[in-house]
Amino acid sequence: MINKFRKLSENRNLAIIALIAVVNALGYGIIIPILYSYSTKFGMSDFENGLLFAVFSLCSFIANPIIGRLSDKYGRKPLLVISISGTALSFLIAAFAPSAIFLFIARALDGFTAGNIPVASAVISDTTPLKDRAKGFGIIGASFGFGFVFGPAISALTVGFGLHVPFLIAAGISLVAVLLTFFFLPETNRHIGKVKNAKIFDFKKMVTAVVDPKVGLTLLISLVYNIALGMFIFAFQPFSVKVLGMSPNQIATVFTLFGIIGLVTQIFILQRVVKFFGEKKAFTFALLLSSITYLAIFFTKEINIFLVITVASGLANSFIGPLTQTILSRETDEKSQGSIQGLNASYISVGNILGPVIAGVLATVFLPLPFLVSSFIILSCFFLSFGIMKKGASKEHAF
């Protein structure tokens, strides 16, 4: 009977965490398609728009390890409430922004309080047995997929009522998540206050973490992979328009396809593949497949072939994020799950900053070149993952 109640509690926690992930993805999916158009009404240049898009990743890079660390020290629930509230407030500021500077303030605030996903990942680590963590992290990924499918659709349906309306809807969704978290999510951190004393923000540790004997290799792969992914995301739209001649509707359809693939993969496929191959082998194979698909895109000039390749690419990328989180959770002790997930989120932010910049330079030389370079970058991750494969079932590492 006790086990049944525990299972129900875990399911409730997973449902709330899934909702938080949906909120993040819906918010992102709702505002990104209209952010450029919204900002131009304030007379912002393309360069200023580039800064506006980058400020979120820069701020989240700084804030994610802080929020993760604080959740280890003070608990998951209060940090989740604070971070989601910050997201809601940022959307409201953007909706009623009287000038461009308020848009920058809104995106910065959203970045500084964007630690809800690493903290949510720590809740998964707190409440899910090791053997089921890939499934738990997969639920977060699937929830993102759901949000990326429906977020742009919500934006398209409501933007006709005013460019500010999608921001208000995103804020409302975030406020619902705040209330559900506050009233229904129990505190899952059983080690509050037990984490060893350390700096809340340790830039040296952030830089040197990639050489840590336990988690360093996995973090390095996460960083390098996300640089390549950032390059792909940047290059995708100009390549689609200028090389393949795709219309905006076709591009939107492909993004929806990516969301559907992620949703299906992480609900129905991920756990089965992990059970058959194991987490580390599945991780390695996914990296190889991702590298091959990016290389294939470099040589592609036909839309139909491109769509087939993007399906395979979406499948591979749907594995890599959840499995990275799972492997890191195994390499870190139970008292430091928030810290390691926050640190990983910061490396993802670095990838989101550097990837588009590198791709932008390469695209000026030859538009498809970012796909070729990103393919070789991910291939390096594939070879680096052999080091993870060699690791045995080592003791958990306090981080």
First and final C-alpha spacing in the chain: 36
Using the predicted structure, report yes or no on whether residue 114 has a pLDDT greater than 80.
no
Using the predicted structure, report yes or no on whether residue 89 has a pLDDT greater than 80.
yes
Indicate whether 166 belongs to any domain.
Answer: yes
Q: Is residue 20 domain-shared with residue 123, that is, in the same domain? A: yes
Domain boundary among 186, 221, 255: 186
Q: Is residue 160 domain-shared with residue 225, that is, in the same domain? A: no
Is the pTM value of this prediction over 0.85? Answer: no
Q: Is residue 308 domain-shared with residue 181, that is, in the same domain? A: no
- What mean pLDDT is reported for the chain? 80
CATH code of the domain covering residue 307:
1.20.1250.20
Q: Is residue 167 domain-shared with residue 227, that is, in the same domain? A: no
Indicate whether 397 belongs to any domain.
Answer: no
Using the predicted structure, report yes or no on whether residue 10 has a pLDDT greater than 70.
no
Query: What is the model's pLDDT at position 115?
Result: 65
User: How far is C-alpha 277 from the chain's CA centre?
Assistant: 24
Q: How many domains does the chain have?
A: 2
Indicate whether 182 belongs to any domain.
Answer: yes
The half-sphere exposure of 116 on its side-chain side, counting CA atoms within 13 A, is 29
Angle of helix 337-365 relative to helix 369-390, nearest 10 degrees, comes to 150
Read off the pLDDT of residues 29-74 as tens digits, 9 standing for 90 and up: 777 767 767 777 888 765 676 677 778 878 877 787 788 778 888 8
User: How far is C-alpha 105 from the chain's CA centre?
Assistant: 22
Q: Is residue 74 domain-shared with residue 146, that is, in the same domain? A: yes
Indicate whether 193 belongs to any domain.
Answer: no
Q: Measure the CA–CA gap between 338 and 361, rounded to whole angstroms.
A: 35
Contact 16/180 with Cβ under 8 angstroms? yes
Contact 280/317 with Cβ under 8 angstroms? no
Q: Is residue 155 domain-shared with residue 64, that is, in the same domain? A: yes
Domain boundary among 140, 159, 186: 186
Indicate whether 276 belongs to any domain.
Answer: yes
Q: Is residue 171 domain-shared with residue 273, that is, in the same domain? A: no
Contact 334/125 with Cβ under 8 angstroms? yes
Indicate whether 97 belongs to any domain.
Answer: yes
pLDDT, mean of residues 342-351: 82
Residue range(s) defining the domain that contains residue 9: 1-186
pLDDT > 70: percent of the chain = 84
Q: Is residue 344 domain-shared with residue 250, that is, in the same domain? A: yes
Most trustworthy range by pLDDT among 144-158, 313-327, 383-397: 313-327
Q: Identify the residue whose tokens are 């959307």.
A: 91
The four Cα atoms 94, 103, 46, 361 give a dihedral, to 10 degrees, of -110
Indicate whether 361 belongs to any domain.
Answer: yes
Read off the pLDDT of residues 352-399 as tens digits, 9 standing for 90 and up: 888 877 887 788 788 899 999 999 999 999 999 999 887 654 344 444
Indicate whether 211 belongs to any domain.
Answer: yes
Q: Is residue 136 domain-shared with residue 277, that is, in the same domain? A: no
Q: Is residue 162 domain-shared with residue 311, that is, in the same domain? A: no
Q: Is residue 170 domain-shared with residue 210, that is, in the same domain? A: no
Q: Is residue 249 domain-shared with residue 104, that is, in the same domain? A: no
Read off the pLDDT of residues 226-241 as tens digits, 9 standing for 90 and up: 999 988 877 776 787 7
Domain boundary among 186, 213, 242: 186
